[in-house]
Structure 1
Amino acid sequence: MKKLYGVIGAPIEHSMSPLIHNDAFQQTGYNAHYHAFYIEPKDLKPAVKGMRALGVSGFNVTIPHKEAIIPLLDQVDEAAERIGAVNTVVNKDGLLIGYNTDGKGFVEALKEVTKLNNKRILIIGAGGAARAIFYTLAKEQGVQIDLFNRTASKAADLIEEFSLGHLAESITMKEAIRRLEAYDVVIQTTSVGMFPQTENSPLPLNVIKQGAVFSDIIYNPYETKLIKDAKALGAVTQNGVHMFAYQAALAFEHWTGLFPDTNRMKNLVKEQLGGISC
């Protein structure tokens, strides 16, 4: 019998998860189908109950349910519990187990272009994506991380919550600009620069470190203003397609035990966005 997987969220109609997961099922020969389910917040509890009743084998969780779903699950992985968000659920013999593949997916993608040991890193933002990325990056050996957020207290609270004051500091925009030339890696986790506000950037760039890596989790547009500006200054750049592919691949692995072709996933998304495949 064909297994059923899916993604729940609101909105959900523009999700590219069905495209890449159904292709991965086909490529790996795994007998399954992936479907997008529009679930409003008020319907989350009965929706999860319905997933149980239908015997859905696993599903992704996207905005606005990543936090709200946690008390509805039977178990939550340690990383997802610390991050406070679940984006992947596995049905294991009737038990719904929650995981978070966002942080690990981002870091694995970033390692395609740079080593992370002993690097000085700037994270822009302190929201849900920043939490997952910060928590995961902090496990890398010798990293020093600055967090810049418009509301500085939110970044400071995040550092305190994870008890990572020994390797992280909350800084202002003025300090971030002054220190730009010292950062090996700059990571943009906010919605600034996302379509349709494509001319906006969270941080003006003047001088950056030679060979610095700039990563933006946004992938629509394919290159944000921040990424364009960094590239013009000679930076190595990476957009959100890479994180999207890796977090999806890690979810796929949780469900099936198989790790799919992330390059194929990235190319499918690029083609869908009208970009050029690599």
Structure 2
Amino acid sequence: MRKFGLIGHPLTHSFSKKYFEEKFEKEGIEGCSYELFDIPNAFDLEEILSEDPEIEGINVTIPHKEDVIALMDDLEEACEEIGAVNCIHIQDGIRTGYNTDYIGFKNSLSPWLGGIKPKALILGTGGASKAIKQALIDLDIDFLNVSRSEDEDQITYGDLASDPEIMKTHHLIINTTPLGTFPNEEGIPAIPLDQFSAAHFVYDLVYNPPVTTLMKACLDKGGKAKNGLEMLMLQAEASWEIWNS
């Protein structure tokens, strides 16, 4: 039996197990299993792998994408630059970290934007935001990081409220936070929703529910919105390729 899985906390929102189980059945892939490991601490991965050394691949989701780096024996070069791991390949006891979030986001963003490159606001500064940042750099899209706390490399949500020019000149809003994820669907980043316009695009990495509160706020003003399901599917397929390389 080939074994794979996902670590994160919480995992009530995750579609990964269903996605891979359907993939195995649809493509006639036999002798494979995919399990969810809801762990509050990234270092609990050590116990999981100790108890089941047959595991070949692990996906990593919020909030462990940065902390899990300390448990790797090696990192893919691009993953080193990003500073976050969301895919682990285990071969002959060697753990190698990759970042397929980058692949999934980059390959889903460009077609959706239709060739334009609006300035972006990245909401959140966690592990997922690092892959998004690198993808925007490689796509030559200017961006600002937005967080609850002030720092020299980021602005705050308060800055968005006090300076309407920021939203007027940054039309691509990317939510990398878990706010709005099932079962807490009413959650939303603290951005001024009244400043949305028909020129705005919201790319919400949340995919459950399919239309988040943030997405709806943009759609109600005539803008466009996209959830993270396509990104999930693309990064999952990239993970499968890595595990079978």
Partner of 1:67: 66
Partner of 2:206: 218
Question: Structure 2: how far apart are the matches of 1:37 and 1:193?
Answer: 22
Cα distance change, pair 147–40 in 1 and its aligned pair in 2 (3 A): closer
Partner secondary structure for residue 113 of structure 1: helix
Residue 44 of structure 1 aligns with an amino acid whose one-letter code is: L
Partner secondary structure for residue 103 of structure 1: helix
Cα distance change, pair 50–117 in 1 and its aligned pair in 2 (3 A): farther
Gaps of 5+ in 1: 158-168, 258-278
How far is the alpha carbon of 1:176 from its aligned partner?
5.8
Match of 1:228 among 216, 223, 230: 216
Spell out, residue by residue over 1:153-210, the C-alpha distance to the aligned partner (whole angstroms, 9 max, x if none).
Answer: 1xx34xxxxxxxxxxx646223663232323421122233344251645212335454
Cα distance change, pair 7–186 in 1 and its aligned pair in 2 (3 A): same
Cα distance change, pair 29–177 in 1 and its aligned pair in 2 (3 A): farther
Match of 2:149 among 151, 163, 180: 151
Question: Structure 1: how far apart are the matches of 2:109 and 2:122?
Answer: 13
Residue 239 of structure 1 aligns with an amino acid whose one-letter code is: N
> Is the Cα–Cα contact under 8 Å of residues 124 and 147 in structure 2 kept in the other structure?
yes
Question: Structure 2: how far apart are the matches of 1:13 and 1:225?
Answer: 18
Partner of 1:260: none
Superposed, 1:42-191 pairs within 5 Å as 43-51=44-52, 53-54=53-54, 56-115=55-114, 118-141=117-140, 143-153=141-151, 156-157=152-153, 170=155, 172-174=159-161, 177-191=164-178
Question: Structure 2: how far apart are the matches of 1:124 and 1:10?
Answer: 20
Gaps of 5+ in 2: none
Partner secondary structure for residue 65 of structure 1: coil
Deviation >6 Å, runs of 4+:
none
TM-score with structure 2 setting the length: 0.83
* Percent of paired sites with the same residue: 32
Question: Structure 2: how far apart are the matches of 1:27 and 1:3?
Answer: 17
Cα distance change, pair 254–208 in 1 and its aligned pair in 2 (3 A): same
Residue 152 of structure 1 aligns with an amino acid whose one-letter code is: E
Partner of 1:276: none
Residue 241 of structure 1 aligns with an amino acid whose one-letter code is: L
TM-score with structure 1 setting the length: 0.74
Partner of 1:34: 34
Question: Structure 2: how far apart are the matches of 1:78 and 1:38?
Answer: 28
